[in-house]
Amino acid sequence: MRYDSLVPNGNRKRPESVLVIVYTPDQKTLLLRRAGNPFWQSVTGSLLWDEEHPETAARREVEEETGIVSTSGWRDWRIARSFMILPDYRYRYGPGITHNREHVFSLEVPEIRDVQLNPREHTAGEWIAMDDALQRLWSWTNRTALTQLMRELV
């Protein structure tokens, strides 16, 4: 999709994002609770208008949302799913934008580590077993990606 016609007036978000599942070899995954609502999710975030590659956004979002910087353990799943933007959040995008395209990544870290949350974005972070994480995740795309990762780890 070309976004030339959507270039922002002010702070409109680009309708393209990343989802990054951060996990350990013993199948613990990091979940973050969004500020302002009860949503639990993996690391997520929109591509910036000047970012050409989702991988750039994935690495940036992990660092911004958790403080984790890693040069290894990354996987680009080469999967992108489209989902409907909730009506309450559409004002952040250009006129008529109703769907977002989300690129899936994962990052395996050697062990659980402390994370540095940005309180404007997240109020809590927790490392939990992947099975338990499936019960907390609100997003179908996040549950689908985690389920796919879990199948590969068996």
- pTM across the whole model: 0.91
Structural Rg of the chain based on CA atoms: 15
**pLDDT (0 to 100) of residue 96:** 95
**pLDDT (0 to 100) of residue 37:** 82
Phi, psi of 4, rounded to the nearest 5 degrees: -55, -40
Identify the structural domains of the chain with CATH numbers, from first to last: 4-153 (3.90.79.10)
First to last CA, the chain: 36
pLDDT digits (tens, 9 = 90+) for 51-108: 889 999 999 999 999 999 999 999 999 999 999 999 998 999 999 999 999 999 999 9
> What mean pLDDT value characterizes the chain?
93
Measured over the CA atoms of residue 125, residue 56, residue 150 and residue 140, the dihedral's sign is: positive
